[in-house]
């Protein structure tokens, strides 16, 4: 029988690594709650000041890792996001060395946002929060990878489709998979152009399942009726190639003729930027799930 496991936000890591000590163990099919800190590890106070004490905080902390019994290298780990709740206060900034358009220095102070009623307010505009998970991933195959860097294991992908109701699929590279997550955003636009989403702590409830006999090169997210392959690399050009290659493989493995798969993708696949501010760029190739198989 399934049980609910809770991982406290005191169990955070700054590197996704196969040698990390598990914060918790679970079985295939279990439901697990991850309490997450904001990307500053709590260094930003509600008054907008930021504690800069060296060594006191974990950069971009991820809660975990969770050891999923039975997950082995070569498997896929399915992570269904059952619920995603954020705290009341989020922040953005400060603005030193941030953004993608060349402006530098600390002209952008920390801004605190109260989203306790589920609304974001800025410049007289009010819009609903749309919470998503910035960092989510498993232990990579080789050396550990810091939680600022997205790669084949997931990590800091900052993909807006990773939100409540979505299911994310990861290639397992270490025994137990070692799932970890954090860096929630109450709102973020594709690209994350200032380097900050609306950074906020929260709580994520997931159900995990091990899929045997299939593998992936890059994480996949299914969000509503959209399937997206999420690839990360040094340049967005490389990401586009890697994401479309795996989407093509998914389509042909589900019965599409090679030529028709290519032409379908040219008509119905969208390449979208996830983020362009992290040590690797991230792009997703997405298509409606209605096109995953041919009808004839």
Q: Which stretch binds Ca ion (CB under 5 A): 2-10, 93-101, 172-180, 183-191?
A: 183-191
Rule CB under 5 A: is residue 39 a binding residue for Ca ion?
yes
Rule CB under 5 A: is residue 16 a binding residue for Ca ion?
no
In the block, residue with structure tokens 């801004």: 111
Number of residues in contact with Ca ion, rule: CB under 5 A? 6
Cα separation, 41 vs 60, whole angstroms: 7
Among 94, 134, 150, 176, binds Ca ion (CB under 5 A): 134
Question: Shortest approach of Ca ion to residue 278 CB, angstroms?
Answer: 6
Q: Which is nearer to Ca ion, 7 or 39 (CB)?
A: 39
Among 17, 30, 41, 158, binds Ca ion (CB under 5 A): 158
Q: How many CA atoms lie within 13 A of 38 on its CB side?
A: 24
Q: Which is nearer to Ca ion, 39 or 250 (CB)?
A: 39
Q: Which is nearer to Ca ion, 18 or 37 (CB)?
A: 37
Considering only residues 186 to 205 of the shown chain, the ones binding Ca ion according to CB under 5 A are 197
Residue nearest to Ca ion (CB): 134
Considering only residues 66 to 105 of the shown chain, the ones binding Ca ion according to CB under 5 A are none
Per the CB < 8 A criterion, the answer to whether 182 and 36 are in contact is yes
Question: Shortest approach of Ca ion to residue 197 CB, angstroms?
Answer: 5
Question: Shortest approach of Ca ion to residue 223 CB, angstroms?
Answer: 18
Q: Which is nearer to Ca ion, 85 or 209 (CB)?
A: 85
Question: Shortest approach of Ca ion to residue 140 CB, angstroms?
Answer: 17
Q: Which is nearer to Ca ion, 140 or 202 (CB)?
A: 202
Q: Which stretch binds Ca ion (CB under 5 A): 81-89, 148-156, 212-220, 257-265?
A: 148-156
Q: Which stretch binds Ca ion (CB under 5 A): 31-39, 92-100, 173-181, 202-210?
A: 31-39
Interface positions with Ca ion (CB under 5 A): 39, 134, 156, 158, 183, 197
């Amino acid at each position: 029988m399934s049980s609910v496991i809770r991982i406290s936000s005191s169990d955070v890591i700054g590197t996704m690594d196969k040698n990390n000590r598990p914060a918790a163990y679970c079985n295939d099919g279990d439901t697990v709650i991850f309490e997450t800190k904001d990307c500053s590890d709590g260094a930003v106070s509600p008054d907008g000041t930021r504690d800069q004490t060296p060594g006191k905080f974990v950069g971009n902390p991820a809660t975990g890792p969770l050891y999923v019994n039975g997950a082995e290298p070569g498997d896929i780990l399915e992570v269904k996001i059952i619920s995603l709740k954020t705290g009341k206060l989020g922040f953005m900034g400060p603005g030193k060395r941030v953004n993608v358009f060349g402006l530098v220095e600390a002209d952008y102070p920390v801004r605190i946002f109260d989203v306790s009623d589920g609304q974001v307010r800025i410049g007289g505009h009010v819009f609903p929060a749309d919470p998503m998970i910035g960092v989510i991933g498993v232990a990579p195959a080789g050396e550990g990878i810091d939680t600022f860097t997205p790669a084949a294991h997931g990590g800091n992908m900052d993909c807006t489709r990773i939100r409540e109701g979505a299911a994310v699929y990861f290639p397992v590279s270490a025994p137990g998979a070692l799932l970890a997550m954090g860096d929630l955003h109450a709102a973020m636009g594709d690209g994350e152009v200032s380097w900050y989403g609306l950074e906020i702590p929260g709580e994520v409830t997931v159900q995990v399942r091990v899929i045997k006999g299939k593998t992936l090169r890059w994480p996949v997210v299914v969000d509503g009726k959209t399937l997206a392959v999420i690839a990360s690399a040094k340049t967005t050009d490389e990401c586009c190639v890697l994401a479309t290659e795996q989407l093509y493989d998914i389509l042909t493995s589900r019965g599409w003729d090679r030529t028709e798969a290519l032409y379908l993708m040219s008509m119905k696949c969208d390449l979208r930027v996830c983020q362009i501010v992290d040590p690797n760029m991230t792009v997703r190739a997405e298509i409606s799930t209605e096109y995953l198989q041919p009808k004839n």
